[in-house]
Structure 1
Amino acid sequence: MAGKPVRVLVVDDSALIRKLMTEILDADPGIEVVGTASDPFIARDRIKQLSPDVLTLDVEMPRMDGLTFLSNLMRLRPIPVVMVSTLTVAGAQVTLDALALGAVDFVAKPQLDVARGLGDYAALLIAKVKQAAHARVACRRPSPPAPIGEYTGPVAYRTTDRLIAIGASAGGTEAIREVLAHMPADAPATVITQHIPGAFSGPFAERLNKHSRMTVLEAREDQPLLVGHAYVAPGGRHLKVVRSGARWHAQLSDEDPVRGHRPSVDVLFESVARHAGANASAALLTGMGDDGARGLLGLRKAGAHTFAQDKATSVVWGMPGAAVALGAAEEVLPLEHIANRLLAAGSNA
């Protein structure tokens, strides 16, 4: 295999979890687990000794909680971190805090008593660790509660005929927060697919709502899509858009995952292309893999205005990079410019 293996330090207070994750990661020839640590103090010393490329970090840690350790780490020695989270509402809140502090991505804590499905979990963990090794990491401070920025362009976009669609994955929870923070209170109805588990999408929508002038909700079946509102796909369900009379409506689906994802950005974008076409503008943000790239191309062919986040501001330039390679994006933009371009594109349609 070309290149050196990704050097990983596994940090978890459970000896069984450390053993299991080490076995999973070491089974891949492109990864080498160089050490483990049972708490942040040991981890700090191991980082100095071993200089790992990637850290897997348990959210709940003894002697020093995972968030405090992560905050110190990103301030003093930024390194790609994949959080290991419990799939609960409480776990979601802590994990979202960790992503705001600079963690690259997260995976669920493996279930020690469930052998079935471990193969899928192993594949996901390996993929996320490998991708994290190439992620752009920098210190991130917790975002202020008030939204920042303000759209100052034309106001002709303020109509129920306009629709905005956004897709993201790794790094996307913070990228979406920043885009929505720049949206005015009467922005066009906005639909969002972020790769996220079921327990996380509700808390994620609530967090976005606190940082946006728009009203941000977890999407419900047959919900009218209103001006000034943003709708997040529920974890584990596809979100589609349909036209019903004079309004857009949300449609949820339990159909099979697409390219390994449910919700899938491609599913959302393809529905927007089909039912909104040139009345839409869309952005594909940071994320691992290529979900959304084909959908963005379909949107562009349907006459929609399409944008991809640039490599310099993406945590992982997988999804937007794939869209750029397909010629799906009209423009490739830094994250801070995407909200204004989404809105301005709508005003000129």
Structure 2
Amino acid sequence: MACRVVVVDDSGFFRRRIAEILNADVGIEVVGMAADGKEAIKCVKELKPDVVTMDIEMPVMDGITAVRHIMAEAPCPVLMFSTLTTDGAQATLDALDAGAMDFLPKRFSEMAGDEESAKALLRRRVRTLARSRVRAATSGAAAAPRSLLGAATARTQGPSVTPVSASGARAAEHLSRAADINPALLKSARAVLIGTSTGGPVALQEVLKHLPKTFPLPILLIQHMPASFTPAFAERLNKLCQIEVREAATGDMLKPGLALLAPGGMQMLLEGGSVARIKITDSEPGTIYKPSVDISFQSAVGALRGQVLAVVLTGMGADGREGARALKGLGARVWAQDAASSVVYGMPAAVVEAGLADDILTLTEVGPALVKGFC
């Protein structure tokens, strides 16, 4: 059965263009269109789509306000179209805060290297969001907390959701709890590394809000996100959390109670020495994720000799699996988010499927488990 989509934009040309692209996929059907937020709410209530694509700036009612109403009255996954500017970043973060699940650049040239790749990306994102709704409904999983952001992914390319085998699904049923965490197994850790993608902004806030100002380890955050978005995202996290959160820069030292967010469009590396430091670099040609969880995790192999706790949260694809494998080879502990609380069970599924996860936790258990393990 095709996933049903409502397209919302004040530009008739853009609505028709998006509808044409989506309808070219036999697995997608555009069942309605709206020119403003007020029309969108009515459309969603009447048509009950699987996914809504939403513009931000519209007359009568803007997209952010419309998302709030939709989430309150007829919840369904919303994909925002955003401009990759500083102002666009703030507006998109506000839309995600209102409950939107994901976003893509409105300009196709910013989505991917060519138009056909951009079209394929849009279709893939819509199908992924539709599947996430089906999985949540069929599993009976409660929706993830949305107190800061919905799901934002940053990279405009990447693989689809990692399938979960029967053995992986069975493994994911055996969840750890914060009370089960043995601090003795974490005593050698010198840092916490957290990697995530789709669904990551809300997941990171849910985790970090539990940490006291006196949290004894440094934290590195790798979230797939555009360069124009990470400064605003770091600022929001810093205002909402007890620990300090800021965008990482070359030369930053790892300090207890400091969370450093990898800059969008770049790679965040750890360099060793008596005190580990951050190095921000450009990506090698052909690198899919900017920043990449694998690249940051693998840099910790040399810099910290695996003395880390690596945490892989919700996200599309498998970024983080090979980095977790390298770290685990040197004795690092690896945690993965469970399927039910993940917006997209791709990245953590890849870790679980590879047999790398020491503990599988629900999203709301990760923060308390960090506190129990280190405080």
- 1:331 Cα shift? 0.7
Does residue 86 of the first structure (1) align with residue 88 of the second (2)? no
Change over 3 Å in CA distance of 1:252–1:337 after alignment to 2: same
Report the 3-state secondary structure (helix = DSSP H, G, I; strand = E; otherwise coil) of the residue aligned with 1:79: coil
Tell me the residue number matched to 2:341: 313
Does residue 304 of the first structure (1) align with residue 332 of the second (2)? yes
What whole-Å deviation, never above 9, does each CA across 1:103-146 have from its counterpart, x for those lacking one?
211111125899963233223222211111122574856459xx
Does residue 240 of the first structure (1) align with residue 237 of the second (2)? no
What whole-Å deviation, never above 9, does each CA across 1:254-291 have from its counterpart, x for those lacking one?
12377621111111111123322442001111111111
What whole-Å deviation, never above 9, does each CA across 1:181-229 have from its counterpart, x for those lacking one?
1112132111111010111000000011011111111111122122211
Change over 3 Å in CA distance of 1:311–1:161 after alignment to 2: closer
What's the TM-score, normalizing by structure 2?
0.82
* AA matched with 1:87: L
Does residue 256 of the first structure (1) align with residue 253 of the second (2)? no
CA RMSD of aligned residues (A): 3.0
Change over 3 Å in CA distance of 1:255–1:39 after alignment to 2: same
**Are the equivalent residues in 2 in contact too, given 1:239–1:250 (CA < 8 A)?**
yes
Q: 2:369 aligns with which of 334, 341, 344?
A: 341
Tell me the residue number matched to 2:96: 99
Change over 3 Å in CA distance of 1:257–1:210 after alignment to 2: farther
Give distance in 2, aligned partners of 1:162 and 1:139: 29
How many residues are aligned here?
337
Give distance in 2, aligned partners of 1:139 and 1:194: 17
1:198-217 to structure 2, matched below 5 A, reads: 198-217=227-246
- 1:346 Cα shift? 5.3
Change over 3 Å in CA distance of 1:305–1:154 after alignment to 2: closer
Give distance in 1, aligned partners of 2:319 and 2:253: 26
Q: 2:21 aligns with which of 11, 20, 24?
A: 24
1:104-119 to structure 2, matched below 5 A, reads: 104-111=101-108, 117-119=114-116
**Are the equivalent residues in 2 in contact too, given 1:75–1:139 (CA < 8 A)?**
no
- 1:166 Cα shift? 0.4
Tell me the residue number matched to 1:8: 5
Give distance in 1, aligned partners of 2:346 and 2:298: 19
Q: 1:192 aligns with which of 203, 221, 245?
A: 221
Q: 2:251 aligns with which of 222, 228, 233?
A: 222
Tell me the residue number matched to 1:288: 316
Percent identity over the alignment is 41
Return 5+ residue gaps in structure 2 as ranges.
Answer: 137-142, 150-178
Does residue 266 of the first structure (1) align with residue 263 of the second (2)? no
Change over 3 Å in CA distance of 1:304–1:342 after alignment to 2: farther
**Are the equivalent residues in 1 in contact too, given 2:206–2:364 (CA < 8 A)?**
yes
Change over 3 Å in CA distance of 1:13–1:192 after alignment to 2: same
Give distance in 2, aligned partners of 1:257 and 1:40: 40
Tell me the residue number matched to 2:207: 179
Kindly indicate whether structure 1 or structure 2 has the higher relative contact order, using CA contacts under 8 Å at least 6 residues apart.
2
Report the 3-state secondary structure (helix = DSSP H, G, I; strand = E; otherwise coil) of the residue aligned with 1:24: helix
Report the 3-state secondary structure (helix = DSSP H, G, I; strand = E; otherwise coil) of the residue aligned with 1:47: helix
**Are the equivalent residues in 1 in contact too, given 2:145–2:206 (CA < 8 A)?**
no
Does residue 279 of the first structure (1) align with residue 276 of the second (2)? no
**Are the equivalent residues in 2 in contact too, given 1:17–1:110 (CA < 8 A)?**
no
Give distance in 1, aligned partners of 2:345 and 2:112: 33
Give distance in 2, aligned partners of 1:266 and 1:110: 28
- 1:63 Cα shift? 0.8
Tell me the residue number matched to 2:173: none
**Are the equivalent residues in 2 in contact too, given 1:305–1:345 (CA < 8 A)?**
no
